[in-house]
């Protein structure tokens, strides 16, 4: 019997290979050798200084509905291709997860947006869990 962790590792490996050969990222005419990651501490200081940041929550809607970063908008990773135009191409945009495939999903989201001309996107280092671990503010959606 193959363990779930081996299957997950195989799927993540396939996604990484797919990203490596994905034409829209490589044909866009820019260097995407790394993912632009930004530490939670830096993001918190930017928020505290009043900088307007657009947070994009890539988690499933069920997770977003429980709690999120202040003012975040939900665009689940599975919907990013068709909803990317909801993300502004100016100002600072920060993507965050954890998504089912973790860093592979973050890389997919980042490279997808870079391939579509976004130059204002970063990924929150350590994702949503890193933000919460530091006890930084979150919003809870209250039932009506």
* Domain residue limits, the chain: 4-140
**Tokens 């820019």 — which residue?**
30
CATH number belonging to domain 4-140: 3.40.250.10
Along the 144 residues of the chain, how does pLDDT read in single tens digits?
555 555 665 655 555 555 555 544 434 444 445 889 999 999 999 999 999 999 999 999 999 999 999 999 999 999 999 999 999 999 999 999 886 567 788 889 999 999 999 999 999 999 999 999 999 999 987 654
Residue 74 CB contacts under 8 Å (≥ 6 apart), including other chains? 57, 59, 61, 64, 68
């Amino acid at each position: 019997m193959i363990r779930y962790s081996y299957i997950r590792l195989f799927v993540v490996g396939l996604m990484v290979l797919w990203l490596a050969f994905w034409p829209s990222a490589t044909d866009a005419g820019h260097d995407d050798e790394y993912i632009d990651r930004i530490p939670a501490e830096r993001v918190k200081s930017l928020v505290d200084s009043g900088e307007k940041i657009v947070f994009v929550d890539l988690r499933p809607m069920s997770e977003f509905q429980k709690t999120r970063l202040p003012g975040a908008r939900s665009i689940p990773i599975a919907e990013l291709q068709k909803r990317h135009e909801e993300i502004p191409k100016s100002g600072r945009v920060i993507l965050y997860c954890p998504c089912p495939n973790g860093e592979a999903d973050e890389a997919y989201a980042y490279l997808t947006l870079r391939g579509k001309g976004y130059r204002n996107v970063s990924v929150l280092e350590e994702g949503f869990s890193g933000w919460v671990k530091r006890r930084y503010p979150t919003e809870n959606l209250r039932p009506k």
